[in-house]
Amino acid sequence: MKQVRVLFEPDGVVVEGQAGELLLDLALTAGLPLLSECGGQGTCGSCRVQVQSGRVRFLNRSGLEEQIAAPQEVLACQTAAAGDLVVHVPPETRLCPPDERITGYMGPEAAAFLRPGRTGFALGERTPVQLSPPSFDDPTPDWERLLEGLRQARYGRRNITANLDVLREIPPQLRALDFSVSATLVDEGCHHRLIALGQPEQEEALGLAVDIGTSNVKAELVQLRTGRVLAGAAQLNAQVRYGEDVISRIIWAQEHERGADELQDAVTSTVNSLIEELLQETGASQDQIIAVSCAGNATMISFRLGIPADAIRRAPHIAPVGLPPMISGAILGLQVHPQAAVFCLPAINGYVGGDITGGILATGLFEADSLTLLIDVGTNGEIVIGSKDWMVCCSCSAGPAFEGVGIECGLPARPGAIESLAYDPDQDRTTVRTIGDDPPVGLCGNGLVETLASLLDARVIDRVGNLVPDFPSPRMREANGEPQFVLLWREDTATAKDLVLRQGEIDNLLRAKAAVFAAVSTLLEELGLDIAQIDRLYLAGAFGSHLDVRTAVEIGLLPDLPAERVTVAGNTALVGAYITLLSSEAREQVSSLARATTYVDLSTASHFMEEFVAAQMLPHTDLERFPSLVSSEQGRAGGSSSNT
Amino acid sequence: MKQVRVLFEPDGVVVEGQAGELLLDLALTAGLPLLSECGGQGTCGSCRVQVQSGRVRFLNRSGLEEQIAAPQEVLACQTAAAGDLVVHVPPETRLCPPDERITGYMGPEAAAFLRPGRTGFALGERTPVQLSPPSFDDPTPDWERLLEGLRQARYGRRNITANLDVLREIPPQLRALDFSVSATLVDEGCHHRLIALGQPEQEEALGLAVDIGTSNVKAELVQLRTGRVLAGAAQLNAQVRYGEDVISRIIWAQEHERGADELQDAVTSTVNSLIEELLQETGASQDQIIAVSCAGNATMISFRLGIPADAIRRAPHIAPVGLPPMISGAILGLQVHPQAAVFCLPAINGYVGGDITGGILATGLFEADSLTLLIDVGTNGEIVIGSKDWMVCCSCSAGPAFEGVGIECGLPARPGAIESLAYDPDQDRTTVRTIGDDPPVGLCGNGLVETLASLLDARVIDRVGNLVPDFPSPRMREANGEPQFVLLWREDTATAKDLVLRQGEIDNLLRAKAAVFAAVSTLLEELGLDIAQIDRLYLAGAFGSHLDVRTAVEIGLLPDLPAERVTVAGNTALVGAYITLLSSEAREQVSSLARATTYVDLSTASHFMEEFVAAQMLPHTDLERFPSLVSSEQGRAGGSSSNT
């Protein structure tokens, strides 16, 4: 078979395939699943892409090869590659739009769960059913008649159940609608549950993918039939006022009467507020949301469910529940359909939760052929190393600095957040780029990394991370006895306040990046591995895909790997929630990979504290660990490559 | 192998088996399942019986045959027959005590579901689980640790779920009880649900078998671990005040606001009142009842669940639900454990319900080798004909006369109810036998049958069922223009009132027996069968096992079959509820036999009305259908064998 290469724009992803492969499948291999509402029949027009150059073969025409002369719109399900191609995928054709503020990387292994025609069930579905009316010859009871119709229409030999309130509606509804209905079912694992019966023509059934982070909660509203993401939103977790990290919140819950209830109410209100925002944006109604998939660490999920989380903070850090049984939306106080199914991605232990199993799923690490590293930097840092053969994970307390919590100028990635910052000491001038090109409000994770690197490069801070007191600029000043550096003067900000970075905040950022680096190093050491053996690194969490990998290496957040081996993967937890919302096979996969992943406790690893201390310099005490930086430094300036 | 015959006393049941068979298994074959708490290990002593004569072989002794010289207590699970035997089974050894007021016949096919060591699950169970405490080497989350323990202890690869309130208890309970707990689970079909977690030593888990009849509701409290029936009770269905039969109640429910709710409340209050009575009698607590199995016709079950039953009364008489999904006790307002599982035996259609599928299960009709007839006389009469190869059923409206409703002197079978009545015209004297030998209160079904037969024999009534006005006794009198006959004078009754039978009441009884007979005849005709081809007839429902079969034939309630082919089976609906309470295999069996039974609507059968009219005489217009009566009549008196 003839090999072909296809470049997908504007993502710049190249995949190799064989002549004759459909563009729909090639896009999937590229990790860019497309809409395909008709399941690849060529009838719905939803998988429209633009072929910009190359040779293709149209299934629905002569079948002969055609050279594309000028950019041409085609259906990806009806067009096969016949030679190398350049294909442009417009945003409206994407199953999961590439909005970096909300979503993250989806590997081809994960995207495969969304392949049109793949068996399995979305977490919730609405199915039209046409029943034959009862007669003396066919006196099947109403419920059994409906079951038979559902089995024929969609559900085969699945067990189907229903709550009493729905059972009570069935006899009058069947007759009112002349035995032609639309049935709404949710997948509860070992069975489906019928949660509503209505007219054949119903509003779209929607699902909610949620990432409940310790600091930030993010959600996407998804059309369950097509997988299309209708809108996304993010908010600070209202639990933040009870403590910055999970430990302090668990203690708070224990020490206050109704403490756990209060924490549960806080996160419920955050999720409900996101739901309101998404419904307002899309004009959809609460009852349309029939399925919710939640990623979150074990403490967040425990608080979400109101399950005592005390055991998490005490060795050996046991999660109350790995994979919670399916729960109804109303029981959790969510403003969704009262019987909406709520799926929570499984935790591995108390410190490695559903956000990470979601990440393993989203990146495809569980099927990787070569050694892969997943680093998720949130308020906790979690690390997974492995491949399809084995997976090992650990966690560390990074602190929420890179999420913008505890940093006065920090904020989550949203319009107005500085993603990129360069300080020019010669001009004493700062150049920034913000999300949405809005006036700058503060710095998100990406911006904080670049700021550290830029200030180090400009020698505003030294390698220990101290602001240099005699740096020759009015930006360097002191307030309340603490040195600070003005990144932007008030006339350049949206807040009309100077945007400053304080010494204490720099220390927080350094501790966060040191914890992550030390966790990676210690885990590699425990496994007898060298960083150079890592074939692919995914950096997930607080960072958007515009993060410059070299900059992250320069400050020692990431180990020194060639940039082409690193993918900045964004919110893979949310991607995991999205995939499990749409695919029962993905839900089964994530459950089994949670069981297959071994946890290593770093508190019992002898070298972790040493590693942590050594990693608090910029980039690291031991520069030999960063050979690429040393060589470029030598190339630039010569000299200071020895330890200080 | 040597054939042996074993006579079980005091039941008088003889079974044939082979030398070497255990008494435990032989008793089961006889339809007399025994307690066996240790599952046949010979350790618990619960299967103690008395061998009165014969040769046995003791497993736990030499293994040699021994001749029983004097009556000797043995363990049925450790003793094999070596020759013909007489065995006495004391009441305390019986799984299901032979209390005819409550229970009914259980065929060996049905009793086999209760065989010790048989796989499957009671509807609810309490299982001790010993878990290893968590450690760094085994950081399995609490819920998954418990699941693993449950799987090893009892549940294998079954799916197990839990409600949120139970999930919330797990982490503190596991630690408070040092990871050694007792878990209470209910079987919801495709999965088990954990409903409580407690100390290893817990009170016995109990179940409730309920027969919700249109006129009477009966319940048994059962120890789920052993199957032992702790107590039984019966009460009039409080719905009776809304109408005597299902049709009038459905109409009442439709014509009144909140009518269906009121009917639901009525039956709930009846069941709860029975529960209170049973708990008081046994000293058990509400929370111990973790499982409920309900038999009842489709209307009763619909009212019980609050599902609109309108379609039942309109052709083609569709049941709202055949096999309802499992529902929790609290949702139904039952005074049992809030998460108790409620199983309802499946309906075949609107007029043949779970009382009948329970009867098919209890009698073993579904596995019969030869043609078997089940007649269940309640407020409706239901008929099933078939064998292991096919089953056909029908129903007719009999009216509640034989249940004692609408008959002033009628009452359900309970202490003081007259079971047997003989009027001697020569002495003008009535002899009665009552249940419990208590002073007579009124007549139960058995008593009504014998009364009709006796009054006919004494020529107090003629063959048309009319009281003979000039019968020479002061007992024959008139009140309010209606003839009546005094069965017992007030000085002989517990009520200090004359016990009378009115002409209108006799007419009701005749209509009831005529409807049943006509339904049987019509169904046989539809199937091209003759009554003589029926190998076994089970008469279930309002009649206790002391009913004299010949008497029932004499009044034309039963077709003319030799008495040895007829079993008066009592409340087989309740037996069905009892068996399904204890065996998941029985629950599966009853579901599949419901699907396998074909319904024939008598309103479309041309001959039903003719049959009904002809059957209103005593025994029947066409005496040729009762050859055995004609011959005995001829033997006794000669003459009147022609139609009148």
Q: Which of A143, A174, A305 to mutate to test the interface with B (most CBs of B within 10 A)?
A: A143
C-beta atoms of B142 and A318 within 8 A: yes
C-beta atoms of A164 and B135 within 8 A: no
Q: What average pLDDT does this structure show over B513-518?
A: 96
Separation between Cα atoms, residue B281 and residue B274, nearest integer Å: 11
- What is the predicted pLDDT for the residue at A399? 86
Nearest to B141 among A136, A318, A327 (CB): A318
Residue with the larger pLDDT of the pair B35 and B550: B550
Strand intervals (E) in B213-268: 216-223, 229-236
Lowest mean pLDDT among A156-170, B50-64, B559-573: B50-64
Decide if B157 touches A, using CB distance below 8 A. no
- What is the predicted pLDDT for the residue at A265? 93
How many angstroms away from the CA of A317 is the closest CA of chain B?
Answer: 7
The SS3 assignment for A224 reads coil
Nearest to B159 among A163, A189, A331 (CB): A189
Per-residue confidence at A642, pLDDT binned at 50, 70, 90? very low
Residues of B in contact with A250 (CB under 8 A): none
Tokens standing for A331?
Answer: 């029981």
Instruction: Kindly report, residue by residue over A502-511, the tens digit of the pLDDT.
Output: 999 999 999 9
Q: Does A635 score more than 70 pLDDT?
A: no
Region A124-198: CATH code: 3.10.20.880
How many angstroms away from the CA of A27 is the closest CA of chain B?
Answer: 37
Q: Does B639 score more than 50 pLDDT?
A: no
Instruction: Kindly report, residue by residue over A76-105, the tens digit of the pLDDT.
Output: 999 999 999 999 998 788 876 545 445 788
Per-residue confidence at B644, pLDDT binned at 50, 70, 90? very low
Separation between Cα atoms, residue B516 and residue B536, nearest integer Å: 17
CB–CB of B322/B594 below 8 Å?
yes
Instruction: Kindly report, residue by residue over A342-371, the tens digit of the pLDDT.
Output: 999 999 999 999 999 999 999 999 999 999
CATH fold label, B364-398+517-629: Nucleotidyltransferase; domain 5 (3.30.420)
Instruction: Kindly report, residue by residue over A539-597, the tens digit of the pLDDT.
Output: 998 787 788 999 999 999 999 999 999 999 999 999 999 999 999 999 999 999 999 99
Decide if B311 touches A, using CB distance below 8 A. yes
Instruction: Kindly report, residue by residue over B66-76, the tens digit of the pLDDT.
Output: 888 889 999 99
- Complex ipTM value: 0.87
Tokens 């450690």 appear where? B135
Nearest to B190 among A190, A315, A350 (CB): A190
Tokens standing for B548?
Answer: 């004299």
Q: Does A417 score more than 50 pLDDT?
A: yes
Separation between Cα atoms, residue B464 and residue B147, nearest integer Å: 68
Per-residue confidence at A154, pLDDT binned at 50, 70, 90? very high
CATH 3.30.420.480 domain position(s) in chain A? 208-344
B306, closest residue in chain A (CA to CA):
A168
Per-residue confidence at B634, pLDDT binned at 50, 70, 90? low
Q: Tell me what the pLDDT averaged over chain B comes to.
A: 91
| Residue B410 burial (CB count, 10 A) | 26
Tokens standing for B524?
Answer: 């046989």
Q: Which of B132, B148, B157, B161 to mutate to test the interface with A (most CBs of A within 10 A)?
A: B161
- What is the predicted pLDDT for the residue at B98? 47
Residues of A in contact with B306 (CB under 8 A): 164, 168
Instruction: Kindly report, residue by residue over B452-494, the tens digit of the pLDDT.
Output: 999 999 999 999 999 999 999 999 999 999 999 999 999 999 9
CATH 3.10.20.30 domain position(s) in chain B? 3-96
Separation between Cα atoms, residue A399 and residue A407, nearest integer Å: 11
Per-residue confidence at B640, pLDDT binned at 50, 70, 90? very low
Residue % of chain A over a pLDDT of 70: 97
CA atoms A300, A306, A307, A308: torsion sign:
positive
Instruction: Kindly report, residue by residue over A582-605, the tens digit of the pLDDT.
Output: 999 999 999 999 999 999 988 777
Q: How many inter-chain contacts (A to B, CB under 8 Å) are there?
A: 162
| Residue A198 burial (CB count, 10 A) | 15
- Closest of A166, A125, A123, A121 to residue A142, by C-alpha: A166
Phi-psi region at A600: left, alpha or beta (left = phi > 0; alpha = psi -120 to 50): beta
Residues with Cβ within 8 Å of B254's Cβ and at least 6 positions away in sequence, in order, are: B310
Paired residues of A598 in beta bridges:
A392
Window 316-345 of B, Cβ < 8 Å to A: 316-327, 331-332
Say how many CA atoms lie within 13 Å of B211 toward its Cβ: 33
Lowest mean pLDDT among A163-177, A221-235, A588-602: A221-235
Instruction: Kindly report, residue by residue over B518-529, the tens digit of the pLDDT.
Output: 999 999 999 999
pTM: 0.88
C-beta atoms of A323 and B135 within 8 A: no
The amino acid occupying position B340 is A
Decide if B378 touches A, using CB distance below 8 A. no
Decide if B370 touches A, using CB distance below 8 A. no
Residue B10, judged by CB atoms within 10 A of its CB (0-12, 13-18, 19+), counts as exposed
Q: What average pLDDT does this structure show over B191-206?
A: 93
How many angstroms away from the CA of A76 is the closest CA of chain B?
Answer: 41
Query: Candidates 1.20.1250.20, 2.10.25.10, 3.30.360.10, 3.10.20.30; correct CATH number of B3-96?
Result: 3.10.20.30
Residue % of chain A over a pLDDT of 90: 71
Q: Does A644 score more than 60 pLDDT?
A: no
DSSP letter assigned to residue B94: B
User: Rounded to an integer, what is the distance from CA B363 to the centroid of its chain?
Assistant: 10
Query: Candidates 3.30.420.480, 3.40.1780.10, 1.10.40.30, 3.40.1280.10; correct CATH number of A208-344?
Result: 3.30.420.480
Residues of B in contact with A306 (CB under 8 A): 164, 168
Phi, psi of A479, rounded to the nearest 5 degrees? -140, 135
CATH 3.10.20.880 domain position(s) in chain B? 124-198
Tokens standing for A302?
Answer: 């425990």
CATH 3.30.420.40 domain position(s) in chain B? 364-398+517-629
The SS3 assignment for A540 reads strand
Q: Tell me what the pLDDT averaged over chain A comes to.
A: 91
Q: What average pLDDT does this structure show over B38-47?
A: 83
